[in-house]
Structure 1
Amino acid sequence: MKYPKLFEPANIGSMTLKNRIVLSPLHANFTVCDKYTDRFVKYYEERAKGGAGLIITAHIKAEKDIDPYPKTFGYPIFDSAAEIKYFTDLTETVHKYGTKIAIELSPGTGRIADEPLPDKRPVGPSEIPLLTMPDVKTRELTKDEIKQLVKSYGKAAGLAKAAGFDAIYVHFLAYLGDQFLSSCWNHRQDEYGGSLENRMRFLLECIESVRANVGDDFPLIVGIALDHGFAGGRELEETIEIAKRLEPLNIGALHLRRGSYDAMSLLIPTPYVKDGIAVDYAYEVKKAVNIPIIVDGKLPNAAYCEKLLEEGKTDFVGIARQFVTDPYWPKKAKAGKEDDILPCIRCVQCINRVFFSKSSACSVNPQFGREFEGPLPKTKEPKQVLVAGAGPAGMTVAKFLAERGHSVILAEKSGELGGHLIEAAVPAYKKETAAYLRWLKKQVEENPNVDIRLNTEVTPEFVSSVRPDAVVVCTGSAPYVPAVPGIDRSNVKLATNLLVNYKDEEVGDKIVIVGAGLVGCETALFLKEQGKKDITLVDMLPEVAQDVIYLARLSLLEKLQEEQINSRTGLKLKEIIPEGIIVENEKGETQTINADTVIIATGLTSDNKLYESLKDETEEIYAIGDCISPRKFIDAVQEAYAIAKII
């Protein structure tokens, strides 16, 4: 076995796990009417089948009367015996594969509430602003309401045990529980506020209520934040003290993460955050107590996890998003087949979509969330399908068409597979994207049903000569080049070309990047990696990175600030001159920004010429990806999968 420590059995209290791999909570918004659905059960089943030792469910609330929020995310409620049947389906399904399952049980929402109901004000430990609506404040819970929450919490734990859960995960991170623990949110003047002893009272009473309903030997896992990641929030030293006070309570494990919803780049790490963001902090807790710990936060691969376990930095590894992209990664790692693992590119689309009231989806695994549909069916009528373009859309559709039994010609006019993935994978901090590109190429290169033809431009004449049964156009997009004087100067470079063909001697010390969207910002960070110091982003929009999804944008802006990358917005490029660029502001005033090198990152434009020339002449033709309109990887991949299913 390649990773003996990762795959050895281990205990959390009285519960024995077959390995040290924990599927951390990740809410996918697959619920209907606050109930787990077959879609959710199949999602968890696939991860159990794939080799997880322990699954921790996503957020499940213990009651809905005092704290009915949030409504948008559809968190399940476990407040009556009538719910046992729904959860028993889940636990019995997971247990078939020798995997244990814990319920992430929450006592409430607090300041994470969404839009207030007309007759129900959100509640909290104190009167504090809501996270997303700071003009709205929570109502301070009464002591009688706190007692009721504690009672409901214990009751829900007892119901969970009856439904077959193997452990209770006491969820005191980010939501109501964490707000009671933390002086930045808990301003109470009674026995539930003030000192740490008082702020911990709600947690300890919830644990006591759980014990009264499940017994002293039933495993408990407590989830808490190592630190909040913002000024005035809880720091590591106090978390260590909390852990010390929990030690006498027979806690099976602590699940430790950094951050909060006020510092989401720590809570939900992006490509711009270092690997193992919580490891060193969690290790300080581990050294202070004798409670096993589960560490979470951008653990990149099995080798990294094995090293953490060997060094004694943690007892278990908590991973969520790698399970989204590839539910079978534990089995593949155990067999030494890491090259077959579909990597997570840290784009955070899966979580970002939930924040905006959508079901979760993945940029690289279009089958995530569709497990209930079963595997792709083999075709009963094999066809020859011509795929024009071998970017992420083209390679993805070719992979799935070939797996269904079609014969695929994958034609690419350049000499390399990858499309815009090639330049996206260049920066060192985008190593996950580089791994995804390698994985995708492997899928089509090793499939005997895919005939790859590089340096082959698909034209109407080529289509006539091949005579395919169906054509899928994936010709992508090309950089938009603004028509301004001086655009052809030798010191002007396209960002996409620069990333792939970077030569230090061709890039000066003073750099201006025209276009401060995702490509421009990531090019700036790449140039910082190369040792360039004087970099300025210029954009006609009022803010930087406006095309970047919400969660990733917060992290990207922090990284740009950390790297001291300048930005100037509200400026339109008018001309490129030997000294730099001339820009115009909203008032029509011009100014010069000096630069040795000017980099153009002004977006992409669709290349749909082939589709337009074929659509009226070809009986079965489809267009997917950027050739429709330039968008994200997730759009190309999801469209590719949808088309592969219907051909």
Structure 2
Amino acid sequence: MINNEATATSLKLTETQKPDIQRKAIRLGQSLRLPCGAILKNRLLKSAMSDSLADGKGNATLEQARLYERWAEGGVALSIIGEVQVDPRYPEKPGNLVLGPNTNRQALSELAARGSINDTHIWPQIGHAGALAAPLISQPKGPSALRVGSFSCAGMSLSEIQQLPAVYTNAALLTKAVGFSGLQLHAGHGFLLSQFLSPLFNRRQDQYGGSVDARARVIVDIIEKVRGAVGPHFPIGIKINSSDQLEGGLSQQEALEVIGILDRTSIDLIEISGGTYFPGATSSSDAATDGPYFIDFASQAKQLTKIPIVTTGGFKNRPQAVAALGSGETDMIGMARALALNPSLARQWLKPTADEVHFPRFNTTPPGGITAWYTMRLTALAKDNEDNFSMDLESAIRCYEQRDQLRAERWRRRFSSSQ
């Protein structure tokens, strides 16, 4: 038997809720002014992915430029180029970009120009893989020497650490010179600056180890030196973990302390993520969970800083984005894999009748398979060939690994004198 009164009440509530939902949805299209004065045209950000589309010598390619042009056409306010290296001795992959003295500036300028059409900001995510540098083309080195199971890395000397602010600053100056509209410091996902924050990786007994303040010292030094070089009006963002999701790694409470430390710097945008690429660790994006992963942490972080917050991870439909922005838990929504599936998703979500993302389901999930599949999907987007993309995970892994092997040879030839 149907309870008509209950049904009528339910319908009435739905009608009552509509104006509130519509009011919250307006925030998707509202601009965001950063502390430095730069304006982001809406609240949707293409978060960094390792697109692996550089030429194997650290240089940008036309395919890479086309990929970011597509996201700019698709309506995002800001695109972040993932895994752009400040030191060719410690890359994440041989398909990374490198910001160095011999980098092809013309190719970088092309990437910056095409990725910034339609009033879009495009920032490189500048970083250093440290202990997680690709073994094929590197000798990994982190804040401390470490051996965990089959994983090992050397430790950095005090002199090497003290040189990092200058290394990052040189990369930042090149970023600005070739036409990018800002940059993001990569201090998440287990790479070098994230390793300094993590008590699992950072076991130093000097001024760079111990307390959270000490472990964050090198990051603060980098921010100060970069800001002094690029000036007060050039956006500087940072990506940090809400936690490492590893036993002995950075905890949520420590990560909140880092937010407080960043609030005292000149950072313009803080992107919240989590997890690491430590061997054997589960990726947050591969976890079977519904809804945004880090929104609770972002809500707590908002209480500790005046700097705008981006939350990335797990946003799979428009209502989730509308709810997070409308509640004030975050200032921007970061998306990665969703925009690999539909590069025009931002433009569509700015409309009331938005298309939703249809995420693929795989019968088997071999280690590294999902990451490889999405990376090869980015290659198809860059070639405007996504309609013909039909790889299974095993094929994606083969193509991905074969391409890396070829690029590793080029990388070793190009950067052999740097090793």
- TM-score, with length taken from structure 2: 0.80
Is contact 2:227-2:266 (8 Å) kept?
Answer: no
Aligned residue for 1:221, secondary structure, equals strand
Separation in 1 of the partners of 2:266 and 2:235? 8
Which secondary structure does the structure 2 equivalent of 1:193 belong to?
coil
Computed over aligned residues only, the root mean square deviation of the Cα atoms, in angstroms, reads: 3.0
Partner of residue 118, structure 2: 97
Distance 1:242 1:31 in 2: 32
Give yes or no for the alignment of 1:152 onto 2:167: yes
Within the candidate set 44, 65, 73, 1:49 is matched to 73
Matched with 1:409 is none
Offset of residue 82 of structure 1: 4.1
* 50-59 vs 216-225, which moves further: 216-225
Does the CA contact (< 8 Å) of 2:143 and 2:204 recur in 1? yes
Counterpart CA distance in 2 for 1:354 and 1:292 is 31
Mapped pair 1:111 → 2:128: no
Match of 2:347 in 1: 331
Given the alignment of the two structures, is residue 24 of structure 1 paired with residue 47 of structure 2, yes or no?
yes
Indicate conservation of the 8 Å contact 1:277/1:298, yes or no.
Answer: yes
Check the 8 A contact 2:263/2:304 in 1, yes or no: no
Tell me the distance in 2 between the aligned counterparts of 1:342 and 1:46.
17
Counterpart of 2:38?
Answer: 15
CA distance in 1, matches of 2:217, 2:30: 36
Distance change >3 Å, CA 111–CA 214, structure 1 → 2: same
Q: CA deviation at 1:127?
A: 0.3
TM-superposed deviation, 1:226: 0.4
| Conserved 8 A contact 1:28-1:350 | no
> After superposition, where does 1:63-462 map in structure 2 within 5 Å?
63-64=87-88, 67-70=89-92, 72-80=93-101, 82-106=103-127, 108-115=128-135, 121-129=139-147, 134-135=149-150, 137-173=152-188, 174-262=190-278, 264-265=281-282, 267-270=284-287, 272-339=288-355, 341-345=356-360, 352-353=368-369, 360-362=375-377, 368-374=378-384
8 Å Cα contact 2:370-2:393 kept in structure 1 = no
- In structure 2, do the counterparts of structure 1 residues 20 and 349 end up closer, same or farther at CA, with 3 Å as the change threshold? farther
- How far apart in 2 are the matches of 1:351 and 1:202? 33
Q: 1:278 to 1:359 in 2, by over 3 A?
A: closer
1:61 to 69, 77, 85: 85
CA-to-partner distance for each residue in 1:182-201, whole Å, 9 max, x for gaps? 11111111111122222111
Whole-angstrom distance in 2 between the partners of 1:345 and 1:264: 22
CA distance in structure 2 between the partners assigned to 1:349 and 1:89 by the alignment: 37
Q: How far apart, CA to CA, are the structure 2 residues paired with 1:182 and 1:632?
A: 32
Per-residue CA deviation, residues 369-394 of structure 1 (Å, 9 max, x unaligned), is 23454479xxxxxxxxxxxxxxxxxx
Q: Given that residues 365 and 393 in structure 2 are in contact (C-alpha distance below 8 angstroms), is that contact kept between their aligned partners in structure 1? A: no
Partner SS state of residue 184, structure 1: coil
CA–CA distance in structure 2, aligned partners of residues 331 and 138 of structure 1: 44
Unaligned runs of 5+ in 2: 1-20, 400-419
* 2:210 maps to amino acid: G
What's the secondary structure of 1:157's corresponding residue?
Answer: helix
Equivalent residue, structure 2, for 1:4:
26
| 1:265 to partner: Cα distance | 4.2
Q: Any idea what the Cα deviations from partners look like across 1:411-453, whole Å, max 9, x if unmatched?
A: xxxxxxxxxxxxxxxxxxxxxxxxxxxxxxxxxxxxxxxxxxx
Distance 1:116 1:370 in 2: 25
Deviation track 1:314-370 (CA, whole Å, cap 9, x = no partner) reads 00000001110101112222233434x4423376989935866x88224xxxxx423
Structure 1 unaligned runs (5+)? 363-367, 377-395, 401-623, 626-630, 639-647
AA of the residue aligned to 1:16:
I
The answer to whether the Cα contact below 8 Å between 1:124 and 1:138 also exists between their aligned partners in 2 is yes
1:29/1:359 contact within 8 Å kept? no
Contact 1:353 1:361 in 2 (8 A): no
Identity across aligned pairs (percent)? 24
Distance 2:306 2:211 in 1: 24
CA distance in structure 1 between the aligned counterparts of 2:259 and 2:367, rounded to whole angstroms: 29
1:346 to 1:4, Cα distance in 2 relative to 1, 3 A: farther
Relative to structure 1, the CA distance from residue 86 to residue 359 in structure 2 (aligned partners, 3 Å threshold; closer, same or farther) is farther
- For the Cα contact (< 8 Å) 1:153–1:206, is it kept in 2? yes
- Amino acid aligned to 2:73: K
1:288 counterpart SS class: coil
Determine if contact 1:12/1:253 at 8 Å carries over to the other structure. Answer: yes
Instruction: Please give the per-residue CA displacement for 1:71-121, whole angstroms capped at 9, x wherever unaligned.
Output: x44221101264332221111112221111111000x2122123266xx63
Kindly provide the amino acid, as one letter, of the partner of residue 29 in structure 1. Answer: S
Once residues 371 and 179 of structure 1 are traced to their aligned partners in structure 2, the CA distance between those partners, rounded to angstroms, is 32
- Provide the C-alpha distance between the structure 2 equivalents of 1:101 and 1:176, rounded to a whole number of angstroms: 23
TM-score w.r.t. structure 1 length?
Answer: 0.53
Q: Which whole-Å CA distance do the structure 2 matches of 1:99 and 1:351 have between them?
A: 35
Cα distance in structure 1, aligned partners of 2:69 and 2:175:
18
**Rg comparison, structure with higher value:** 1
Contact 1:353/1:360 (<8 A) preserved? no
